[in-house]
Amino acid sequence: MFHDFLNLLYPKLCYSCESTLKTNEYILCTSCLHELPIADHHLEKDNPVEKIFYGRIPVENATSLLLFEKKGMVQKLIHNLKYRGHKEIGPFLGTWLGSELKEIPAWQKITIVIPVPLHRKKLRIRGFNQVAGFGEEIAKALEVPYREDLLLKITATKTQTIKKRLARWGTIDETFVINDPGALENAHVLLVDDLVTTGATLEACAHKLLQIPNLKISIATMAVTH
């Protein structure tokens, strides 16, 4: 009864169209949920996300749940997550994707989930890593550890800067550091992020992780640019 009263005062709104959510709706209204541009690239072989990394890094599996378009529904979702602090969006998408990945044999080989890290300065400003809830729920579904303390970003850089550093190879060591390398030996890491566009940041993280002996990389993101 108290929750019903709160909903009258502060109704929950759809993060896309901003209409009032009904009792059985969460994050998105039924209409927006049905119109959401779903990628489901984990159901495709040689899918568009895998192709982003061809010739750049060895990737075992790669997928994105949704298709991102400027001013589209997915952009609104990610904007609400990253800049308006609506953390519940990450777990919502992670639970969704995790429930599908756990049914696919290739993804059952994952042994650990690691997020693309934020530099401590950005983490302090934002207050949280927007990928955390997404990665945690995928890890739960796959029944593997989620670790955000193993790959750290020690230099504040923009994507364009990372792309330039990749062109100069060894300087990746200036951006990322691995804490406790022994925990990653022989691991199959699922690297998670919110959005993949050029793939530069994910590539830089993967290059650093692949310095660990016998490590394999898979990638999963909330969305990919369409």
Which domains are delineated in the chain?
1-35 (no CATH), 37-225 (3.40.50.2020)
pTM of the model: 0.88
The percent of residues in the chain predicted with pLDDT above 90, rounded, is 77
Q: What is the pLDDT of residues 72-88, one digit of tens each?
A: 999 999 999 999 989 99
Least confident stretch, 4-8, 26-30, 172-176: 4-8
List, edge to edge, every strand of the sheet that includes 62-68.
Answer: 62-68, 216-225, 188-196, 112-115
pLDDT band, residue 189 (cuts 50/70/90): very high
What's the rounded mean pLDDT across residues 199-222?
95
Q: 76 — phi, psi (to 5°)?
A: -65, -40
pLDDT band, residue 169 (cuts 50/70/90): very low
CA distance 45 to 33: 25
* pLDDT of 167 above 80: no
| pLDDT value at residue 161 | 56
Alpha helices in the chain (DSSP H): 2-9, 30-35, 48-52, 73-83, 89-101, 120-126, 132-142, 159-167, 200-209
Q: 59 — phi, psi (to 5°)?
A: -115, 130
| pLDDT value at residue 122 | 84
One-character DSSP codes across 132-145:
HHHHHHHHHHHT--
